[in-house]
Amino acid sequence: MSNPIAYPIFRTTDPVLALHVARQLVAVGDRQYAEVSVNVELCTVPEVLRIREALPDAWFRKEDVEDWARDPSDPTGLHGGVHAPELSADRDFLSSHLPLWASMEYRPVGSVEEDFASLVGPNIGEIWWSSLIWPDVPDRDIHGEANNARVSLLFNCRTQGLDQRSDDHTVLVHVRRRNRDGSEERHAAWLAEQIGQLVIGPPQE
C-alpha cells in the first residue's frame, strides 16, 4: 500500500489562471478513468444560500467533531450530508450550524470545474482530480503511477488541510510517496516541467 505526497507547482491570485494551469497538468496524465470533486467552506448564511441555489446537486455537511460528540443522533443530518434541495433555507437554522461545507464528488472531468471556480469567491475551497494515470518516463527512471496520481487546486488556501487562509490559489501535483529519497520530488518536477512549471515549495502529506 502506498500514499500520495503533493508538491505545489503554481500559485496565483487569478482563479481562472489557476484553473487553466491545473487543467494543463491534468492533461499530462491518462484521463480515461479520471474523476473530479469539489469542496468549499461556507461561513455565512448568504454564502450557504448562494451556493445552495447555484449548485443544486451539492451536498452540505458539518465537520464539527465536538458537536457530533455532543449529539451523536445528529437530528440535522448535517454530519452525514444533506442534499441541496433538502437543505433548510431557514436563516436561524443555518446560522446555528456554520460553517457548512458544500461538496460534489467523483463527477466527470470537465463537468463542474469552471462553474465551481467562478462560484468559490472568497471562500476556502478545492477542486481535485483523481484516478489519473501518470506516464512512464524510462529515461528519467520515473515509473507510471495510477493509485496516487492526482491534481488539486486550492482556493484561498495553501495547504491540503484547508486550514490556512491565503489571498491566492495553489496548484498541487500528487505522486506516490516512496522512501523520501528524492524520487518523489523528481517525479513531481518532471510533471510540472511538462507544462512549463516548477516545484515551488515543500511537499505536503
Nine cell digits for residue 131: 484516478
- Any alpha helices (H) in 80-147, and if so which ranges? 91-95, 113-119
Q: Tell me which residue of 41, 5, 6 sits closest to 163, measured CA to CA.
A: 41
Place of cell 496548484: 171
pLDDT for res 72: 65
pLDDT for res 74: 72
In the DSSP assignment, the letter for residue 126 is E
| Domain spans in the chain, listed from the N-terminal domain onward | 3-42+104-193
pLDDT along the chain (205 residues), means of 10: 86 98 98 97 98 97 71 77 96 95 97 97 97 91 86 97 94 88 89 98 92
pLDDT for res 1: 45
User: Which phi-psi region, left, alpha or beta, contains residue 176 (left: φ > 0; alpha: ψ -120 to 50)?
Assistant: beta
The reported pTM is 0.93
Place of cell 433548510: 88
